[in-house]
């Protein structure tokens, strides 16, 4: 039951209509028995309003935030302190407010790491292709890059891909290359790759039929990991399965990054299994909208 002492947590991004974070976190609060202490909402925030929103977090004493597209990089300049891991990655997806002092974290990195562990995929000495160069791509690259033999960043903006490669070379010993997104480039790079990670929003509900990779160029020897979790099986994953490739959905990453944020805000152990169940039920039931 919500009272005058209930603390607010939430999600900021644009868009957020697709997000199941409120359902997942509020179910987790209830499972742990702290739903009288915490409540979670989603806020659609335009880039032009970001600074004002972060100021309001302090003013209203909002306990914490998740940060999603397109604010993971831009939000960093408005925080009081950034965790060393998030600083290295160059992206924040979780904020904790301690009496007006805002600290930024990146829980996406462990989200990727744990998702790959669950799928029993070891990136050691493998060639990895990352689609995108934004916040999720940065987390995935820093997570996987510590073990991979070769990392290829493919992005529409070659400048952003170059920037990510340079940041990786400064922090992680990895052979990182940048390529500009095109069907020809994708065809070249995926043929001898061990893992493809889609870190873009392409294929996210409601545009669930979109994909960057045509089925005919997906080799059966590759593993395809889509960080998009809504829908549970994106068009990319459907095509990869039809091509005979192994697939990893974005569900595990979504739950793990949320679980770590939950623990940072509350100090309680996250009910990971319950969080997985509630999100999976909503997605399998076709309820992609809050």
Distance CA 238, CA 234 (A): 6
Burial class (CB in 10 A: 0-12, 13-18, 19+), 285: exposed
The active-site residue, picked from 17, 37, 72, 184, is 72
**Angle value at C-alpha 238, between 233 and 243, nearest 5 degrees:** 150
Q: Any bridge partners for residue 195, and if so which?
A: 128, 223
- The answer for residues whose C-beta is within 8 angstroms of residue 188's C-beta and 6 or more apart is none
Q: How many helices (H) and strands (E) does the chain have?
A: 10, 12
Integer Cα distance of 151 and 149 in angstroms? 7
Cβ-based neighbours of 176, under 8 Å, separated by 6 or more? 141, 145, 151, 152, 153, 164, 165, 168, 169
- Six-digit token pair at 12? 């900021």
Q: Locate tokens 């791509």: which residue?
A: 137
Q: Say whether 72 is catalytic.
A: yes
The answer to whether residues 125 and 107 touch, using CB atoms and an 8 Å cutoff, is no
Evaluate the omega torsion of the peptide bond into residue 15 and state whether it is cis, within 30 degrees of 0: yes
Catalytic machinery residues: 72
């Amino acid at each position: 039951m919500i009272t005058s002492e209930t603390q607010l947590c939430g999600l900021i991004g644009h868009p957020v209509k697709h997000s199941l974070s409120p359902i997942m976190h509020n179910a987790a609060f209830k499972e742990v028995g702290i739903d009288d202490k915490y409540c979670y909402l989603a806020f659609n925030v335009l880039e032009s309003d970001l600074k004002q929103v972060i100021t309001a977090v302090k003013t209203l004493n909002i306990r914490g935030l998740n940060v999603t597209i397109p604010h993971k990089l831009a939000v960093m300049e408005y925080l009081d302190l950034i965790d060393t891991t998030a600083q290295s990655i160059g992206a924040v997806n979780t904020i904790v407010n301690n009496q007006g002092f805002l600290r930024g974290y990146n829980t996406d990195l462990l989200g990727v790491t744990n998702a790959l562990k669950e799928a029993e995929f070891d990136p050691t000495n493998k060639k990895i292709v990352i689609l995108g160069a934004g916040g999720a791509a940065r987390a995935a690259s820093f997570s996987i890059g510590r073990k991979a033999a070769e990392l290829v960043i493919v992005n529409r903006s070659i400048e952003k891909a170059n920037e990510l490669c340079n940041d990786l070379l400064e922090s992680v010993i990895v052979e990182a290359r940048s390529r500009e997104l095109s069907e020809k480039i994708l065809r070249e790079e995926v043929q001898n790759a061990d893992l493809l990670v889609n870190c873009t929003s392409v294929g996210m509900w409601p545009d669930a039929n979109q994909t960057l990779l045509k089925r005919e160029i997906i080799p059966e020897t590759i593993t395809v990991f889509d960080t998009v979790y809504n829908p549970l099986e994106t068009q990319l994953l459907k095509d990869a399965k039809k091509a005979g490739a192994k697939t990893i959905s974005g569900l595990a990453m979504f739950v793990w990054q949320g679980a770590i944020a939950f623990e940072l805000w509350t100090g309680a152990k996250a009910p990971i299994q319950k969080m997985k169940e509630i999100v999976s039920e909503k997605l399998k039931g076709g309820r992609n909208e809050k």
